[in-house]
Amino acid sequence: MMDEIASVSRRGFLTVSLVAGAALTFDARLAFAADRSGQSQPALNAFVRINADNSVTIGAKNPEIGQGIKTMLPMLIAEELDVDWEQVRIEQTLADAKVYGPQSAGGSRSTPVNWLPMRQVGAAARQMLVSAAARQWKVDPAVLTTSGGRVFDKAKGRSISYSALVHVAATLPPPDLASVPLKPDDAFRIIGTSRRGVDTPAITRGEPLFGIDVDLPGMVHAALEICPVFQGTLASLDDSAVRAIPGVIAVIPINCGILPKGKNDAVAIVANSWWVANMARRKLKVTWDTAGNEANSTAGYATAAAAALDGRKPQSDLVRAGDIDAGLAGAAKRVSARYSYPFLAHATLEPQNCTALYTDGKLEMWAPAQAPAGGRKAVADMLSLPPEALTIHMMKIGGGFGRRLISDYMVQVAQIARALPGRPVKMLFDRPDDTRHDYYRPAGWHELTAGLDSNGAIVAISDHFVTFGVDGKPIRAAEMEPTEFPSQVVPNVHYGTTFLETNMPTGWLRAPTNNAMAFVFQSFLDEVAEAAGLDLPEMMRRTLGPARQLPQIGRNPVFDTGRARAVTDAVCDFAGWKGRPKAAPNGTGRGFGVYFSHSGYFAEVVDLHVEGKTIHIDKVWVIGDVGAHVINPLNAEHQVQGAVIEGLAQSLIGQKITLDGGKIVQQNFFDFPLLRMNVAPPEIAVRFLKSDNSPTGLGEPALPPVIPAIANAVYAATGQRLRDLPFTLA
């Protein structure tokens, strides 16, 4: 276990015990790349253990949600440590940012944040082992080489295993991680090679890896009855019938957490079986105070959004450049359209769950959490505990997609566990709970207008974005960047925002904001391109202009127009793009979309055909640029294919969350459908362009462009513009 390996000295040094009794001390102030908040986080890490049999145990520090990070981060360490992948065993570390640095699965940030630090950890360990060999053999370390977990002295024809060196290595001063030499790219033997997921064999054996599988001696089970109307509170509770059910242990009112305190109440039923606890909900007599929240409905939001767009005046400016009124008035052609998209649930297949044990002021948690540090803080705040009182085990996660960046389940089970000291409690949502108590991708409405000059160039663009916010500021995941393309390359621009209020909790869904903005802007630009007599790739080439770096606000440091153009050209080659069809629509169509998000550039082409009112996807071509290295190509292709199919799911099968009376209408997969195999296309062809940039993440950026590519292909196939998600054909 990594918690046995790692301990941090009070001087802030890192201790790695290599074998029993031996310890290496790294001066491990890792120069972690700036995270999303812009803060550079000095981190102290413990990742490497050389075992007596010369196998190597490597700690995987980030939550595994299916993105493959539990395999990929150890690949970086193993590369620089110079061991064979077959020697490597991987263990999930504890959640402890003080030891391991930032540990989250979000924003496709794990690759860029960890690319250098994880390699430095491996290189530092290797350097200490080489120094130990040099000392033992009394030679200059510069003459020594490493491979396969051994140090070689080729001049003398001798070698020694890492495991035989650890006792000497432990006595040597640790190298400075920031300056430890790293391999040149052309020496990589693991980075850039296909490696299977470390947990794949265990999954096929049905091993209990996930949060829902946690089982502890004396564990009890909790089900929640949550106020169905968001922000409601408990008015009355009669639990006498529930307490009379055999197996029921306790009934505990709690707060759902995360959302404002004093709202969003729930009642936990604890039993010796989750099945018993969940069935017992039927006997619970509970009333809720929902006053002030019942008037919320998605139908009402749509009406309010339409009224706002009809009024034509955004409440606030997002970006204003040039003179939008003059630009549009002087345009040779104008194009205007409204677009919309719905609220979405995450619908992770593993329902939300968490396990906790409260003993003597300390809380041990087994959490399938994408952002365990956030969960630690939320739990500590809710229970008024010091954050150090929590020990958090990161469990394998049955789907994240952003849902588990919010740690409500941790806060909920922590309250239950504190009421039952000494007893481990596993809390689990039933599927309707999971559907109805998510943190939803917010809906949005746009009215766009573009002006073209007589050469077909875009000279003006405006967008009125109706979204959700409070006090003139967007709520979580409801924002839009002022740099949304093409605002930086068009002379006259106005993007403005109108905010609606909602009682719905909102959150990040895979490629947050971008999954909607790509649809809106790339679909609209296809309309603009058509008005200019162009196809969208050509309109993008002209609008992107010469290769240059544009400053970005938000998650991305810069937007490189040359990289966007390169993926555009490459996917047109890949798919054999032949431009906008000249013949009348015949039910078969091809569409294009390109988008930059999460530091990745993706261009995609979709071929589809329409039968009646059903859209069938025939093939998708993808070109991605995520930098100079695709660390694990086997997984990279798979992430892209999964992201593309998720885009299909948001487009084609009626996914939409609606609110009525302040509560969610949908409850399960029959009314919030997930895409099934029969809708998945036969082929998604994926290629990467290698560019001279540090590698970036792949969980998200392949998703956004496929949605407009579908919309644009349907237009080519039918002449119908699809401007509202989910798509329905007239």
Partner 1 sequence: MTLSITVNQRERQVDAGPNKPLLWILREDLGLRGTKFGCGVGQCGACTVLLDGKAVRSCQTLLSDAAGHSVTTIEHVATLPAGKRLVDAWIDIDVPQCGYCQAGQIMSATGLLSATPQPDDGAIEAAMKGNICRCSTYLRIRRAIRQAAGLEKAGAAA
Which residues are near partner 1 by CB under 8 A? 64-68, 85, 193-197, 199-201, 203-210, 212-213, 215, 273-275, 347-351, 396-401, 428, 430-431, 634-635, 638-639, 641-642, 644-646, 649, 668-670, 674-678, 680, 683-684
* Least gap, CB of 106 to partner 1 (angstroms): 15
Q: What would the two tokens of residue 437 be?
A: 């108590």
Buried b (16+ CB within 10 A) or exposed e, 190-213: bbbeebebbbeeeeeeeeebbbbb
Asked if 483 and 597 count as a contact pair (C-beta separation under 8 A), the reply is no
User: 159, exposed or middle or buried, with CB in 10 Å at 0-12, 13-18, 19+?
Assistant: middle
The pairing of beta strand 353-359 with beta strand 425-428: antiparallel
* Least gap, CB of 207 to partner 1 (angstroms): 7
* Least gap, CB of 572 to partner 1 (angstroms): 23
Q: Cα–Cα distance between 198 and 209 in angstroms, integer?
A: 12
Which residue in this structure is represented by tokens 């767009």? 309
Q: Cα–Cα distance between 122 and 567 in angstroms, integer?
A: 33
Asked if 71 and 202 count as a contact pair (C-beta separation under 8 A), the reply is no
* Least gap, CB of 679 to partner 1 (angstroms): 9
Identify which of residues 202 and 295 has a Cβ nearer to partner 1 in the complex: 202
Q: Cα–Cα distance between 2 and 46 in angstroms, integer?
A: 8
Q: Which of 202, 210, 255, 198 is nearest to 231 (CA)?
A: 255
Identify which of residues 397 and 707 has a Cβ nearer to partner 1 in the complex: 397
* E strand or H helix at 419: helix 408-419
* Least gap, CB of 180 to partner 1 (angstroms): 26
Identify which of residues 539 and 686 has a Cβ nearer to partner 1 in the complex: 686
Identify which of residues 275 and 381 has a Cβ nearer to partner 1 in the complex: 275
Q: Cα–Cα distance between 674 and 676 in angstroms, integer?
A: 6
* Least gap, CB of 156 to partner 1 (angstroms): 32
* Least gap, CB of 63 to partner 1 (angstroms): 11
Instruction: Rounding to the nearest 10 degrees, give the CA dihedral for residues 304, 307, 312, 313.
Output: -40
Which residue in this structure is represented by tokens 């609220």? 343
Q: For the packed helices 69-81 and 110-137, what is the interaxial angle rounded to 10 degrees? A: 30
Task: Work out whether the CA dihedral 435, 441, 445, 448 comes out positive or negative.
Answer: negative
* Least gap, CB of 352 to partner 1 (angstroms): 12
Cis bond upstream, residue 512 (ω within 30): no
Q: Which of 596, 526, 514, 598 is nearest to 561 (CA)?
A: 596
Give Cα 138 distance to the centre of its chain: 50
Identify which of residues 201 and 533 has a Cβ nearer to partner 1 in the complex: 201
Q: Which amino acid is at 665?
A: V
* Least gap, CB of 357 to partner 1 (angstroms): 19
Q: How many other CB atoms are there within 10 angstroms of residue 228's CB atom?
A: 16
Q: Cα–Cα distance between 366 and 355 in angstroms, integer?
A: 5
Q: Cα–Cα distance between 1 and 25 in angstroms, integer?
A: 18
Asked if 590 and 513 count as a contact pair (C-beta separation under 8 A), the reply is no
Asked if 225 and 280 count as a contact pair (C-beta separation under 8 A), the reply is no
Q: Cα–Cα distance between 599 and 593 in angstroms, integer?
A: 17
* Least gap, CB of 272 to partner 1 (angstroms): 9
* Least gap, CB of 147 to partner 1 (angstroms): 17
Identify which of residues 201 and 422 has a Cβ nearer to partner 1 in the complex: 201
The pairing of beta strand 248-255 with beta strand 265-271: antiparallel
Asked if 340 and 445 count as a contact pair (C-beta separation under 8 A), the reply is yes
* Least gap, CB of 683 to partner 1 (angstroms): 8
* Least gap, CB of 725 to partner 1 (angstroms): 18
* Least gap, CB of 275 to partner 1 (angstroms): 4
* Least gap, CB of 277 to partner 1 (angstroms): 11
Cis bond upstream, residue 708 (ω within 30): no
The pairing of beta strand 549-551 with beta strand 558-560: antiparallel
Asked if 642 and 612 count as a contact pair (C-beta separation under 8 A), the reply is no
Phi, psi of 493 (to 5 degrees): -135, 140
